[in-house]
Amino acid sequence: MAKFPRSSKHTPRSGFVEKTLVDINNTLEQSLFAEQNARKQGLLQGLDPRLKIVALLLLVLAVNLSHNILIILVLYFLALWLAFFSKISLVFFIKRVWLLIPFFTGIVALPALFITPGSILVHLPLGLVITNTGVMTAAFLLLRVGTSVSFAVLLILTTPWNSVLKALGVLRVPAVIILILGMTYRYVHLLLHITNDMFLSRKSRLLRRMNGSEERHLVAATSGTLLNKSLQVSSEVFLAMQSRGFRNYPRTMDTFKMRWRDWLSGGVVFITIGLAIWLGRL
């Protein structure tokens, strides 16, 4: 009786094309999910974008001016409370903030554990010691960065990108910077779609797995084609904008209007910020 070979328990490693397709699709899905959150009927979604930008910037300022770790913790739980009542998944929100912060900020905060003078907490090999002051310094840094990023993520998740750009006018941001940010956001998505289509069409024509040199050749060819397409698209977009009456500043259909709940929320937020700065500086 013929014996068939057993199937391997381990699937073969994905090639460059497969990994690139997965990364592009994940990027597009995350962006779409952020826009869906901004359209929900939540607490922050119903407020004026200009108020949100000013209030969240002041909250970040309060976090960084505070010398009291308890005040920073209260502000972080305020960010979680705002996310919950804005109908944002807390698991998604916490993961989005804290997955990368411990790695990048931890590289900066790690030396403070050993070089900050103070009472010794733990003795380590090679004569290293961890001090109480070093632990507090590292905790301050991590918590400040995490809380500040939480407020920034709240703004992006609860406000459509076009509204964020239009609301930047209240901060007197130059129009050319707003235009560049808007065009970049819009056409990064378009180029991601083009790249996704290019790799998908290439993958559909493959009959075998590519080796290393073939993958490098594919990367070089795709990069050149994508650059050519981006230059062509930019020229076509500029001509289309000119033909539709563009005159150096983008205009949107949405209008901003402060309502009673915006004034009430602004008053509560500004009182909270004042108390946080005052208590945090004591």
Tally DSSP H helices, then E strands, for the chain: 10, 2
Residues present in the chain in total: 282
Of the chain, the end-to-end C-alpha distance in Å amounts to: 84
Which of 193, 192, 191, 200 is closest to 218 using CA atoms?
Answer: 200
Residue 30 is given by DSSP the state H
Which stretches does DSSP call E strand in the chain? 120-123, 129-131
pTM of the model: 0.71
Which of 155, 157, 165, 173 is closest to 53 using CA atoms?
Answer: 155
Phi, psi of 209 (to 5 degrees): -75, 135
DSSP assignments along 44-93, one per residue? GGGS-HHHHHHHHHHHHHHHHH---HHHHHHHHHHHHHHHHHTT--HHHH
- pLDDT tens across the length of the chain (282 residues): 444 344 444 444 455 666 766 666 666 666 666 677 777 888 888 888 888 888 888 999 999 888 888 899 999 999 999 999 988 888 888 888 887 776 777 777 777 777 677 676 666 666 677 777 777 778 888 888 889 989 988 888 888 887 888 888 777 888 778 878 877 777 777 777 777 777 777 777 776 676 767 777 777 777 777 788 788 887 888 788 778 777 666 666 667 778 888 888 888 888 888 888 888 777
* Cβ 16 vs Cβ 230: under 8 Å: no
